[in-house]
Amino acid sequence: MAKKELDWANIGFGYVKTDKRFVSTFKDGAWDEGALIDDDMISMSECACVLQYAQTCFEGLKAYTTADGKTVCFRPDLNAERMKNTAMRLEMPVYPEDKFIEAVEKVVKANKDWVPPYGSGATLYLRPFMFGINPVIGVKPADEYQFRIFCTPVGPYFKGGAKPITITVSDFDRAAPRGTGNIKAGLNYAMSLHPIMEAHRNGFAENMYLDPATRTKVEETGGANFLFVTKDGTVVTPKSDSILPSITRRSLMIVAEKVLGMKVEEREVFFDEVKDFAECGLCGTAAVISPVGKIVYKDGEINFPSGMDEMGPTIKKLYDTLTGIQMGTVEGPEGWVKVID
Ligand code: PLP
Ligand code: COI
């Protein structure tokens, strides 16, 4: 079999239907074995819990072709664990973590021709998701669920790839204290659709959300955590109970400290101090690390010294090291890269 003929270097972050997807059904209190199928369509009751009460959650991870031609995934065990935590918060059955990793492997193997070649700039994005499918009209969790994984080849999440973006500070809040901000529930993204469209209409690539209780602290964006770099080179990331525990951010903090010997801090970050940072970036599976050049807010704007042309030097070093680990050119901590053969 041969790689699909796609213009790998120029694909955006969009959905392309690939050959196979995995589906497993939860019924009568148990998950079935699951299978790879061809059909990308889903049929369900008009009263399915997911349609009425948004009982759905998801994950995101990528498969890469390494420099020596292997196909790998990055830390899928952490996606399995996070989906477990999300499911428990949403009263959904947990899809077993070992089965989750097996399903990831099956989907990547069955769609190997869709894994972009090394050096193309593209990757294969995997989207595990789960939803309540049986009819529910009183407000309660479903009894029947589907767990699925599909995959789609993707390019950069933000247009322009590694070029710095301009973001704005949203007037809306993303997640309440003690709410669902720390899990990957579909509802967190439904609420962000209006703010992101407002941001786009005003010419901004993304929203910075502040903590809803005091609106003084930086939380995250709609689809990525923040990383800042101080003028003396310390990597700082916001600590909050209402942001998603990004696997990319947690990995980058380890890379910064243990691989690159940088000073790192995970702490509350006040919006007032953002103007004093030298560099800013958004990190996530889709975003990788996208540099932020400018933040526009009600009372002014922050122009980071790293500018609008290129990534700042520290963020570039982090980007090169992380992507090097993912693509097999840099040795990473043990167990981070799962080979799928
Ligand atoms: N924050 C939000 C709200 C996200 O949707 C994502 C994407 O998954 C992230 C952060 C980054 O998380 P990860 O690095 O695990 O992809
Ligand atoms: C990811 O990075 O995997 C995400 O889920 C972010 C976004 C596409 C919502």
The CATH number of whichever domain residue 174 belongs to comes to: 3.20.10.10
177 and 300 inside one domain = yes
Among all bound ligands, the one having the nearest atom to the CA of 183 is 1
Say how many Å lie between the CA of residue 79 and the centre of ligand 1.
10
The whole-number pLDDT of residue 1 equals 62
Residue 161 pLDDT exceeds 90: no
- Residue 248 Cβ inside 6 Å of ligand 1? The answer reads yes
Residue 186 pLDDT exceeds 90: yes
The whole-number pLDDT of residue 334 equals 96
- Residue 238 Cβ inside 6 Å of ligand 1? The answer reads no
Tens-digit pLDDT profile for residues 127-154: 999 999 999 999 999 999 999 999 999 9
Say how many Å lie between the CA of residue 261 and the centre of ligand 2.
28
Q: Is residue 339 part of a domain?
A: no
- Residue 57 Cβ inside 6 Å of ligand 1? The answer reads no
pLDDT (average), residues 274-288: 97
Tokens linked to 24: 């497993």
183 and 264 inside one domain = yes
Mean pLDDT of all residues belonging to the chain = 97
In angstroms, the CA 129 to CA 86 distance is 11
123 and 197 inside one domain = no
Q: Model pTM? A: 0.97
- Residue 223 Cβ inside 6 Å of ligand 1? The answer reads yes
Any idea what the CATH number is for the domain that residue 53 is in? 3.30.470.10
- Residue 321 Cβ inside 6 Å of ligand 1? The answer reads no
Band (74; pLDDT cuts 50, 70, 90): very high
- Which of 98, 130, 154 is the C-terminal boundary of a domain? 154
- Nearest atom (ligand 1) to Cα of 181: 3
- State the angle between helix axes of 313-326 and 247-254 in degrees (0 to 180), rounded to the nearest 10: 110
222 and 294 inside one domain = yes
Of all protein residues, the one whose alpha carbon is nearest to atom 3 of ligand 1 is 223
Among all bound ligands, the one having the nearest atom to the CA of 221 is 1
HEC per residue, 135-187: ECCCCCCCCCEEEEEEEEEECCCCCCCCCCEEEEECCCCCCCCCCCCCCCEHH
- Which of 130, 154, 178 is the C-terminal boundary of a domain? 154
119 and 176 inside one domain = no
The whole-number pLDDT of residue 8 equals 93
pLDDT (average), residues 265-291: 97
Residue 276 pLDDT exceeds 70: yes
Q: Is residue 211 part of a domain?
A: yes
- Nearest atom (ligand 1) to Cα of 249: 14
Band (272; pLDDT cuts 50, 70, 90): very high
Say how many Å lie between the CA of residue 62 and the centre of ligand 1.
12
209 and 316 inside one domain = yes
pLDDT (average), residues 226-253: 98
pLDDT (average), residues 55-61: 98
191 and 145 inside one domain = no
Q: Is residue 332 part of a domain?
A: no
pLDDT (average), residues 242-263: 98
**Per the structure, how many domains does the chain have?**
2
117 and 224 inside one domain = no
252 and 279 inside one domain = yes
131 and 227 inside one domain = no
Say how many Å lie between the CA of residue 28 and the centre of ligand 1.
32
Domain hosting 321: range is 165-327
- Which of 154, 189, 223 is the C-terminal boundary of a domain? 154
Percent of the chain with pLDDT over 90: 97
- Residue 61 Cβ inside 6 Å of ligand 1? The answer reads no
- Nearest atom (ligand 2) to Cα of 284: 2
Of all protein residues, the one whose alpha carbon is nearest to atom 9 of ligand 2 is 223
Protein residues with CB under 6 Å of any ligand 2 atom = 60, 223, 284-286
Of all protein residues, the one whose alpha carbon is nearest to atom 7 of ligand 2 is 223
Percent of the chain with pLDDT over 70: 100
258 and 189 inside one domain = yes
Cβ-based neighbour number of residue 108 at 10 Å: 26
- Residue 60 Cβ inside 6 Å of ligand 1? The answer reads yes
Q: Is residue 340 part of a domain?
A: no
123 and 176 inside one domain = no
